[in-house]
Amino acid sequence: MSPRLKALLRRFRRDERGSATIEAVIWLPMFVIFFVMIADVSLVFFRQTEVLRVVQDGNRALSVGRFGGAAEVEQFVKDTIAPMTTRAQVTTTVNSGVINTKALVPVEDLVAVGMFNFLNGYDIAVQSNHYVEW
C-alpha cells in the first residue's frame, strides 16, 4: 500500500466530523415510528369520543321523541359515523324506560396512518344509556 493511501486512510479513521450525523440517521426512523404510533393511538381515542357523542345524541333524540324507535337510532348512528367507518355494528334497546345503544367500531378504521398492525383485529365498544323522557 502506498504511503499516500495509508496517510489518507489514517486521516479518515481519526476524523470525527459528521459523527453526529450517523447517530441521527440511526435514531431518526425510530423517533418517526414512535410519533406515528402516538398519532394513531391518539386519533383512535379522539374518534372514540366522537362516536360516543353521536351515540348519546341518538339516545337523546329517541328520549325526547324525535325518533320513532330503536331502528331509527341505529340508522342515525351508522349514517353519522359513516365518514369514519362503514363497518360499525350498532344495537339499540329500550328496556324499563332506559335506552341503551352500543356501537362496535373496528380500530383499523379509526387510525390515521395504519402503518402498523398492532391495533388490527380489535373493536372499540362505545355504549351509552339514557332515560326515556316522554
Checking phi first, is residue 99 left (phi over 0); if not, alpha (psi -120 to 50) or beta?
A: beta
| List of residues 6+ apart from 29 with CB closer than 8 A | none
Closest-CA residue to 97 (of 59, 133, 57): 133
Q: What is the pLDDT of residue 84?
A: 94
Q: What is the pLDDT of residue 45?
A: 94
Q: What is the pLDDT of residue 97?
A: 93
Q: What is the pLDDT of residue 2?
A: 86
Mean pLDDT of 1-20: 80
Does the structure show a pLDDT above 80 at 115? no
Instruction: Count Cβ atoms within 10 A of the Cβ of residue 11 and give its class: 0-12 exposed, 13-18 middle, 19 or more buried.
Output: exposed
- Would the CA dihedral through 40, 45, 49, 52 be positive or negative? positive
Q: What is the pLDDT of residue 48?
A: 96
Q: What is the pLDDT of residue 42?
A: 92
Angstrom distance (rounded) from CA 13 to CA 7: 10
**Chain segment 55-104, per-residue pLDDT in tens:** 999 999 999 999 999 999 999 999 999 999 999 999 999 999 999 999 99
Predicted TM-score (pTM) of this structure: 0.79
Closest-CA residue to 54 (of 84, 89, 75, 80): 80
Sheet with 89-95, edge to edge strand ranges: 89-95, 98-106, 123-131
Angstrom distance (rounded) from CA 73 to CA 57: 9
